[in-house]
Amino acid sequence: MLQNKNSKIVFKTSIGLLLFVWMAYSLCNQIKHQPDLKNTLRQLSDNVKNEGVFLLGTVLFLMMINWLIEAIKWKRLLRGTEHVSFARSLQSVLTGVAVSMITPNRIGEYMGRILYLRNVNKLQGITVTIIGSFAQLIVTGFLGLIGLSYYLIEIKSTVWLKVLLVASILLCACLSYCYLHLSKFIGWFSLISFLKKMVIYLEIVRRFNQHELLRILLLSFGRYMVYTLQLFMLLTLFLVRANTMDLLCTIWLIFWAMAIVPTIAIAEIGIRGATALFFLLPLSTNQLGIVSSIILLWFINLILPSLLGCLFVYKIKIYGDE
C-alpha cells in the first residue's frame, strides 16, 4: 500500500516536472522572440529602479492583508465547531498553504489546516474548509464571468471563448444555488446508503444560514480584490500598458481560467504564465512584462507564505481531544 502511494507521488511529481520544463521552455521561447527585447529590458530595469520599491512594497503589504483576511474567514468558518484564536487561525492557514504546494490544485490545504483542530473536529474542519473554498470559487467565477463577457465584446471573440461563456454561466448558477442551499444536500446524502455515515460530519453546514454564507462571500470578495490590485500593480511595474478597464476585466478572466484548469504546484507557474500571455497579448506585446508579473505574483502570494508555513509545520502540535 505504502509503496503504491509512493509510486503515485513519484509519478505525479515527474509529470509536474516535465510539464514545468515544457511550459518554461515555451514561455522563454516566446519572450526571446519578442520584438525589441533589449529595449524592453532596459525600460523595465529603469522602471523597476524608479518605482519598484513603492510598488513591490505595496504588493507585499497586500499579501499580508490577503492572508489576514483568510485567517479571519477561517476563524469565522470554525464558529460553532471549535474556538481558535486569531494567531492560531493564521498559523493554520499558512500551514495549509505550505502543505498545499505539493498537491494537485493545492487540495492539501485542507489537511494542513485541520492539523490545528482537535481530533473530534477534524472531519468537520474539512467540511468548513470546503465551504470557504466554495465561496472563493463563486466570487472568482462571477467576476471571471464579467471579465469574459467584457473580453468577448471589447477585446477578442472566438468560438471556444463563447463556449466558455455559456459553460461559465451554467457553472456559476449551479455553484450559487448549491452554496446558498447547502443544508438541502444533507437530506439527500442521508438517502444514499454509502454516504449515510458521512452525514454526521456534514451536519455542520446547517449552522450556516444565508446571512452567514453571504458574510463568507464578502470576505472572499475582499481577498479577490487584493489579488486584483496586486496583479494590476505588478503589470504597471513591468510596463504592461493597456486601458484600465480592459486590464481589470482581463485580470478577472485570467483568474477564472486559472481556477478551472487542473494543475500541480510544481507546474503551476508555467500554466499561469501561458494563460496570462494568451489573454493579455491582445492588449500588450510586452511578453516579458506579462510573464514577470505572473511569476512575481505567484512567488509573493504562495512561495513566501508557504515558507513561513513550513516553520509552523515543524513546530506544530497535533491536538488531541483534551
How confident is the model at residue 107, as a pLDDT?
A: 65
- Could you tell me the three cell numbers for 211? 446571512
How confident is the model at residue 96, as a pLDDT?
A: 82
Cβ neighbours of 193 (radius 10 Å): 7
Is 10 inside any structural domain? no
Identify the domain containing residue 134 by its residue range. 53-315
Is 137 inside any structural domain? yes
CA 41 to chain centre: 30
∠ CA(95), CA(97), CA(68), 5° rounding?
85
Is 15 inside any structural domain? no
Is 58 inside any structural domain? yes
Is 200 inside any structural domain? yes
Give me the mean pLDDT over the 150-179 stretch. Answer: 92
Domains of the chain: total: 1
User: Which residues, in sequence order, are CB contacts of 230 under 8 Å at separation 6+?
Assistant: 59, 62, 63, 66, 297, 300, 301
Q: What is the pLDDT of residues 177-197, one digit of tens each?
A: 888 887 777 666 666 665 566
pLDDT-derived band of residue 2, with 50, 70 and 90 as boundaries? very low
Q: Which has more confidence, 29 or 290?
A: 290
Is 1 inside any structural domain? no
How confident is the model at residue 16, as a pLDDT?
A: 46
Is 101 inside any structural domain? yes
| Whole-structure pTM value | 0.80
How confident is the model at residue 277, as a pLDDT?
A: 87
Q: Which of 109, 145, 104, 99 is nearest to 130 (CA)?
A: 109
Percent of the chain with pLDDT over 90: 28
Q: Contact at 8 Å (CB) between 122 and 224?
A: no
Is 301 inside any structural domain? yes
